[in-house]
């Protein structure tokens, strides 16, 4: 009888040990929530010397596989396309992204494009992130005509 009890105890420990370790690691896994998902953002555009040029809301969707789409209220939608681009995990809770949108004037004439590249850090909750970006404005011939910077802050958009 003692042998059976001893065998049951050993079997119980053998099964439970990995489960206890997995449960202990669960908060660590949840704390490294990826950038993937939909985010409500606040963009603060500056002249790169700290002077605020404008501030506006944005929505960014970071999709599985490293693609993204962005839409912002800084430019009327009739004057630009949605931003389309890529993102990747760099290390820890840090990510890099880059996207591009095309611009038009009020007569619907193509005026060039904008490329925004940045880095952001997702907080330990996985529900907020903050970072910075550079903004490059090109004319239709591909000549860089203006640059700016931006501070970004986002919160996860959920049901």
- Smallest CA-to-CA distance from 155 within 111, 118, 123, 109 is with 123
Mean pLDDT across 150-159: 96
pLDDT at 33: 47
Give pLDDT tens digits for 57-102. Answer: 999 999 999 999 999 999 999 999 999 999 999 999 999 999 999 9
Residue 60 is inside which H or E element, if any?
strand 52-63
- Report pTM: 0.78
pLDDT at 2: 60
Positive/negative CA dihedral, 138, 139, 145, 150:
negative
């Amino acid at each position: 009888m003692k042998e059976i009890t001893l065998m049951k105890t050993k079997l119980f420990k053998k099964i439970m040990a990995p489960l206890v370790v997995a449960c202990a690691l669960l908060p660590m896994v949840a704390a490294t929530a990826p950038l993937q998902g939909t985010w409500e953002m606040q963009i603060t555009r500056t002249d790169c010397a700290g002077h605020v040029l404008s501030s506006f809301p944005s929505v960014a969707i970071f999709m599985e596989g490293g693609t993204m789409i962005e839409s912002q209220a800084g430019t009327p939608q009739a004057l630009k396309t949605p931003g389309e681009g890529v993102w990747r995990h760099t290390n820890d809770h840090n990510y890099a992204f880059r996207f591009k949108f095309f611009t038009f004037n009020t007569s619907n004439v193509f005026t060039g494009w904008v490329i925004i590249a940045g880095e952001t850090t997702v907080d330990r909750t996985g529900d907020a992130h903050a970072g910075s970006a550079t903004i490059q404005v090109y004319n239709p011939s591909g000549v860089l005509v203006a640059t700016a910077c931006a501070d970004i802050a986002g919160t996860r958009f959920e049901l």
